[in-house]
C-alpha cells in the first residue's frame, strides 16, 4: 500500500523513500497498471497523467494537458465534479471510493490523497484508479445511487454547456432551469428575487408538461411568508422539505402558500452576492429517489446562475445609463426613438410638448443647482399626471410626453390637472398638445406641431406677464 507522509525538511516521503522532486514521484506511477492523475487542488489544472491514463484518453504527451481542467479531461464536464473529493483531502490521508466513469466506460476503484510540492508549497490532488469492470458482477445499492447522481450531473452539465453559448442572461437562466428540471425529474424549477418592497418576485420559471405555471401568482410574496427560509439562508443553509405536512405547525404561512400550489416536497438553495442573499432557486416535487441529490445538483449551477443575474443587472444598468437622463430619470432621445418604434400606428396618440419657463433666469441668478431643482420639480409634476406613458427630456428645458391609446377627453382632463398642479411644484410650463385619432406613420410631424403650439403658449405667457423673454 502506498503511504504518503507529511512534508519534512523540504522532502516528500513516499514508500519510505525521501524525494525532493515531483518528477521522481511521477516516475513511480508511469508504468503502473492503473490510471493515475494529479491536478492542482486550487485551480483543477492537470499536471500529470501516467502512461495507461494517457493511452486510454488518447493523450500523446503531457504538453497536451497543460492548462486543461481535470473535470474537463476526465469527466467531460465544464464545472468541477459534484463527486470531487478535494475538500476531503489532506497530506498523508486517503479517501477511497468507487464509481463509473462515463468517458472511458469503466468501473473504477479509486484512492485519492494530497501531496505537496516541497519547492513551491503547491498542493496536488493525486488519484490512483484501478479498473474493476470485469469484477463487477452486479450493481450494489451504492452503485445504483452513484449512477443516478452521475446521470443527473451529466444532464446538468449539458445544460451548462448550452447556457454558456446563449445570447442573453435571460436565455441562459431559462436553459439551466429546463435542464435542471428534467435532470431532477421535478415539476417546476424557478428563481425568486428580492424586490424593492422587501417581498419576493418569481422572476423565472420552467414547468414540466401538464404542470400549471405559478409565476404570475407569485409576485411580491410578503416577507413573512419566506421569513423562516431567509433565517436558514442567513445561516448558510438550504431548505429541503420531503413532506409538506412536516411544516404545517411550525410554518403555517409557507405551508398554505405551498399547499395552494400542489407542492408536497421541494429543495431550495440560496444565491449569494458578497455574502448577501439576493435570490433563491429550487425544484418542486422531485421524486423521493433524487430528492436529496437535488441539493447537490442545484449547488453545482448556483454560481453560474448568480453570474447570470449579476450580468443581467449590469446590462440593465448600462441600458438605463444609455437611455435615461441622469438628472431627471426621464428617457433621453435614444429612449424616445426606441419608444416610438414599439408603438402601434393604428392607435390614437396625444403628444404633449413642454418648456420650463424661467430656467435661464434661475441658473443665472441662483446657480445651476437651483436650476437642476427646477428641472426635477417640473419632471415630477409631469410624472404625477402622466405616469405610465412615455416621458422624455429632449433638451435642457424641453420635456416631451407621448401618450399612445388615449382618448381626447382623458388628454384634456390630464392637461387641466397639469395646469392646476404646477403651482404645487413651484414651476411653470409652456404647453403644446396635439391629439390624433390614429398615430399614422409620421409621428415626427405631430411632435413638431406640438412644439409649435408650445412656443405659442410660451409667447402668450410672456405677453401676459410682461416679462422680457430674452432674459428668461
The 3-state DSSP class for residue 448 equals: helix
Distance of CA 291 to the CA centre of its chain: 24
Q: Are residues 168 and 299 in the same domain?
A: yes
Residue 120 maps to a domain? yes
Tell me what pLDDT residue 82 has: 61
Tell me what pLDDT residue 23 has: 66
Residue 142 maps to a domain? no
Q: Are residues 295 and 384 in the same domain?
A: no
Instruction: Find residue 40's DSSP bridge partners.
Output: 124
The 3-state DSSP class for residue 98 equals: strand
Tell me what pLDDT residue 13 has: 43
Contact 305, 176 (CB under 8 A): yes
Q: Are residues 371 and 271 in the same domain?
A: no
Residue 144 maps to a domain? no
Q: What is the C-alpha separation between 107 and 130, in angstroms, rounded?
A: 8
Q: Are residues 107 and 196 in the same domain?
A: no
Per-residue pLDDT of the chain in tens (472 residues, 90 and over written 9):
333 333 344 444 443 434 445 666 777 788 888 899 999 999 999 999 999 999 999 999 989 998 899 988 887 777 676 667 887 888 888 888 777 777 888 878 888 998 888 778 889 999 998 888 876 545 554 555 555 566 666 667 777 777 777 788 999 999 989 988 888 888 999 999 999 888 999 999 999 988 999 999 999 999 999 999 999 999 999 999 999 999 999 999 999 999 999 999 999 999 998 889 999 999 999 888 778 778 888 888 888 899 889 888 887 777 777 888 889 999 998 889 989 988 999 999 999 999 999 898 999 999 999 999 999 999 999 999 999 999 999 988 999 999 999 999 999 999 999 999 999 999 999 999 999 999 888 899 999 999 999 999 998 888 877 666 554 5
Count up the domains in the chain and report the number: 3
Contact 35, 50 (CB under 8 A): yes
Residue 326 maps to a domain? no
Tell me what pLDDT residue 18 has: 44
Q: Are residues 314 and 185 in the same domain?
A: yes
User: Where a domain ends, among 112, 137, 162?
Assistant: 137
Tell me what pLDDT residue 271 has: 94
Residue 143 maps to a domain? no
Nearest-CA neighbor of 374 among 393, 388, 351? 393
Q: Are residues 127 and 201 in the same domain?
A: no
Q: What is the C-alpha separation between 37 and 49, in angstroms, rounded?
A: 5
User: Where a domain ends, among 75, 104, 137?
Assistant: 137
What's the CATH number where 14 sits? 3.30.450.20
Residue 358 maps to a domain? yes
Q: Are residues 167 and 277 in the same domain?
A: yes
Q: What is the C-alpha separation between 49 and 195, in angstroms, rounded?
A: 50
What's the CATH number where 275 sits? 3.30.450.40
Q: Rounded to 10 degrees, what is the CA torsion of 75, 77, 80, 83? A: -50
Q: What is the C-alpha separation between 146 and 264, in angstroms, rounded?
A: 25
Q: What is the C-alpha separation between 432 and 454, in angstroms, rounded?
A: 4
Q: Which residue has the cell 468507487?
A: 98
Tell me what pLDDT residue 136 has: 52
Helix or strand run (H / E) with residue 38? strand 35-40
Residue 384 maps to a domain? yes
Tell me what pLDDT residue 3 has: 37
Q: What is the C-alpha separation between 246 and 264, in angstroms, rounded?
A: 10
Helix or strand run (H / E) with residue 294? helix 291-323
Count CA atoms within 13 Å of residue 163 on its CB side. 25
Q: Are residues 74 and 53 in the same domain?
A: yes
Q: Are residues 123 and 44 in the same domain?
A: yes
CA distances from 414 to 38, 375, 450, 455 (A): 73, 20, 16, 20
Residue 351 maps to a domain? yes
What's the CATH number where 354 sits? 3.30.70.270
Q: Are residues 246 and 290 in the same domain?
A: yes
Segments forming the whole domain that contains residue 180:
149-321
Q: Are residues 166 and 230 in the same domain?
A: yes
Q: Whole-model pTM above 0.75? A: no
Q: What is the pLDDT of residues 405-447, one digit of tens each?
A: 999 999 999 999 999 999 999 999 999 999 999 988 889 999 9
User: Where a domain ends, among 292, 321, 350?
Assistant: 321
Q: Are residues 224 and 317 in the same domain?
A: yes
Tell me what pLDDT residue 54 has: 92
Amino acid at each position: 500500500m502506498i503511504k504518503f507522509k507529511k512534508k519534512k525538511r523540504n522532502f516528500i516521503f513516499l514508500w519510505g523513500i525521501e524525494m525532493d522532486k515531483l518528477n521522481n514521484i511521477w516516475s513511480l506511477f508511469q508504468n503502473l497498471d492503473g490510471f493515475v492523475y494529479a491536478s492542482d487542488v486550487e485551480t483543477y489544472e492537470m499536471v500529470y497523467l501516467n502512461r495507461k491514463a494517457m493511452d486510454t484518453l488518447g493523450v500523446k504527451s503531457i504538453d497536451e494537458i497543460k492548462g486543461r481542467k481535470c473535470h474537463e479531461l476526465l469527466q467531460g464536464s465544464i464545472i468541477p465534479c459534484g463527486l470531487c473529493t478535494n475538500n476531503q483531502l489532506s497530506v498523508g490521508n486517503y479517501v477511497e471510493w468507487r464509481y463509473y466513469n462515463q468517458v472511458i466506460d469503466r468501473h473504477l476503484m479509486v484512492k485519492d490523497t494530497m501531496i505537496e510540492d516541497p519547492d513551491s508549497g503547491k498542493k496536488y490532488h493525486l488519484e490512483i484508479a484501478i479498473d474493476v469492470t470485469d469484477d463487477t458482477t452486479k450493481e450494489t445499492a451504492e452503485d445504483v445511487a452513484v449512477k443516478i447522481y452521475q446521470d443527473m450531473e451529466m444532464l446538468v452539465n449539458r445544460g451548462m454547456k448550452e447556457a454558456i453559448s446563449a445570447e442573453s442572461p435571460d436565455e441562459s437562466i431559462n436553459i439551466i432551469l429546463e435542464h435542471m428540471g428534467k435532470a431532477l425529474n421535478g415539476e417546476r424549477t424557478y428563481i425568486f428575487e428580492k424586490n424593492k418592497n422587501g417581498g419576493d418576485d418569481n422572476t423565472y420559471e420552467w414547468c414540466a408538461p401538464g404542470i400549471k405555471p405559478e409565476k404570475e401568482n407569485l409576485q411580491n410574496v410578503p416577507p413573512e411568508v419566506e421569513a423562516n427560509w431567509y433565517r436558514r439562508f442567513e445561516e448558510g443553509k438550504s431548505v429541503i422539505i420531503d413532506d409538506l405536512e412536516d411544516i404545517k405547525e411550525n410554518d403555517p404561512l409557507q405551508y398554505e402558500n405551498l399547499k395552494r400550489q400542489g407542492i408536497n416536497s421541494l429543495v431550495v438553495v440560496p444565491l449569494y452576492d458578497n455574502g448577501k442573499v439576493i435570490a433563491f432557486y429550487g425544484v418542486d416535487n422531485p421524486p423521493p429517489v433524487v430528492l436529496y441529490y437535488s441539493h447537490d445538483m442545484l449547488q453545482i449551477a448556483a454560481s453560474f446562475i448568480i453570474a447570470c443575474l449579476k450580468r443581467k443587472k449590469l446590462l440593465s444598468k448600462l441600458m438605463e445609463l444609455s437611455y435615461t437622463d441622469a438628472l431627471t430619470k426621464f428617457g433621453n432621445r435614444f429612449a424616445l426613438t426606441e419608444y416610438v418604434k414599439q408603438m402601434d400606428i393604428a392607435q390614437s396618440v396625444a403628444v404633449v410638448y413642454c418648456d420650463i419657463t424661467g430656467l435661464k433666469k434661475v441658473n443665472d441668478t441662483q446657480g445651476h443647482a437651483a436650476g437642476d431643482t427646477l428641472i426635477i420639480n417640473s419632471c415630477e409634476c409631469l410624472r404625477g399626471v402622466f405616469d405610465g406613458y412615455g416621458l422624455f427630456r429632449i433638451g435642457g428645458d424641453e420635456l416631451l410626453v407621448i401618450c399612445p391609446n388615449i382618448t381626447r377627453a382623458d388628454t384634456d382632463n390630464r392637461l387641466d390637472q397639469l395646469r392646476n398642479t404646477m403651482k404645487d411644484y413651484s414651476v411653470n410650463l409652456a404647453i403644446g398638445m396635439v391629439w390624433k385619432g390614429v398615430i399614422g406613420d409620421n409621428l415626427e410631424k405631430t411632435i413638431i406641431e406640438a412644439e409649435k403650439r408650445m412656443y405659442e403658449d410660451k409667447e402668450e405667457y410672456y405677453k401676459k406677464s410682461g416679462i422680457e423673454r430674452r432674459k428668461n
